[in-house]
Amino acid sequence: MEEEGIEEYNVIKESRHSDTKENKTIEEIYRLKRGKKRNVLKNWAQIKRGDERVSEIAGGEFHLYVPYTHFEEVRMLLSHPLCSGFSIVEEGLMSYLTPGQMEKMIPPEEESVGQKIKCLGRLGEHSFYREGYEKIYATNERAFPERKNKEVLDVHFGEEGGRAEIGTDECILVLDSLTHYEKEKACTYVLSLSAALNVLEERYEKIHYKLHPDSYGNWQADIMTAALGRLRCPVREIPRSASIEDVAIGSPADVVVDLSSVGLYCGMFSDGNVYSFHDILSTADSTDCDRKPASEVSNIADCVPDVFWEYVEPLRK
């Protein structure tokens, strides 16, 4: 999937991945109303306007490249009259789950009668990776286990100049989103992070940290920056717009994560050390979902692929 092989392309982002108003996000294009009380007629009008905007952006028939297919706005794009097909692009640890593990976390669901009415029958099946894709694009052979039509790309990380800004006696801390965590798990994460910061403060001269896109503008960013602010060693926020994979893999510094896929990619594609503070307090739940019933699997923290622990070491006190 080289750029040279695509005559023309446009990028539509989710709002959480956009820190600029230059281009509309997918949520702004369709403006779908969630919940049972969404106004049907208003929703229909928003869908029509969204389709018109997508047609303007595409300028004709288009092929859709997406990291997943369960979001409502992505399902709208899949059913757009000009969409000729779609392909899946690797993103994060979810790409390393088997189909059975994936279905345990996000069971496929057909569109309900209410959804058909409110969204003009456009949503289709709710599935993280919908069947019918043309190809799956991966960074390595371990991604997308048991799935067909996989193409491994020649990916080059580390091209953002992180090496010039971050020294070998410093570290990069990648923070997770707590948006989909239950209250107890969110509390465990914050306590584990606090314990990890004590270790990092003693071990490194400076900490460069990256907030998750979901954290901006809410309590998550406040809690995490407050915890970092109490440290005696210098701390620096990596800009929101920076590709953390490029920055981390492009630097000689150690990388510290909880369960972020950045840890896996750094372990695979860089020579530095990668650590996880997930078990630093020995109170976190097991990450092996094969032994859990579906009722105990709600997010990636409940179902971390084995390959992650092959490349990431536990952070010790």
pTM: 0.85
Which of 56-65, 80-89, 296-305 has the weakest average pLDDT? 296-305
Q: Is the dihedral of CA 125, 259, 249, 314 positive or negative?
A: negative
- State the chain's mean pLDDT as an integer: 88
- Mean pLDDT throughout 214-241? 92
Confidence band (pLDDT; 50, 70, 90) for 6?
Answer: low
Which of 58-67, 180-189, 284-293 has the weakest average pLDDT? 284-293
Burial class (CB in 10 A: 0-12, 13-18, 19+), 87: middle
Q: For the chain, where are the alpha helices, taking DSSP H only?
A: 26-30, 40-58, 72-78, 99-105, 113-118, 162-165, 183-203, 219-229, 244-249, 261-269, 306-311
The amino acid present at 268, given as its one-letter code, is M
Length of the chain (residues): 317
- Mean pLDDT throughout 116-134? 93
Strand partners, 89: 137
Question: At residue 171, what are phi and psi to the nearest 5 degrees?
Answer: -135, 160
Given a cut of 80, is residue 45 above it in pLDDT? yes
Given a cut of 70, is residue 188 above it in pLDDT? yes
The pLDDT, as a whole number, for residue 230 is 93
The CATH class given to the 162-314 domain equals alpha beta
The pLDDT, as a whole number, for residue 255 is 96
The pLDDT, as a whole number, for residue 184 is 84
Which of 47-61, 162-176, 242-256 has the weakest average pLDDT? 162-176
Q: Which residues contact 314 (CB under 8 A, 6 or more apart)?
A: 275, 276, 277, 278, 279, 280
- Three-state SS for 25? coil
Which of 2-6, 20-24, 152-156 has the weakest average pLDDT? 2-6
Contact 137, 87 (CB under 8 A): yes
CATH 3.40.50 domain range(s) in the chain: 162-314
The pLDDT, as a whole number, for residue 4 is 47
DSSP 109: B
What's the rounded Cα separation, in Å, for the pair 54 and 285?
Answer: 43
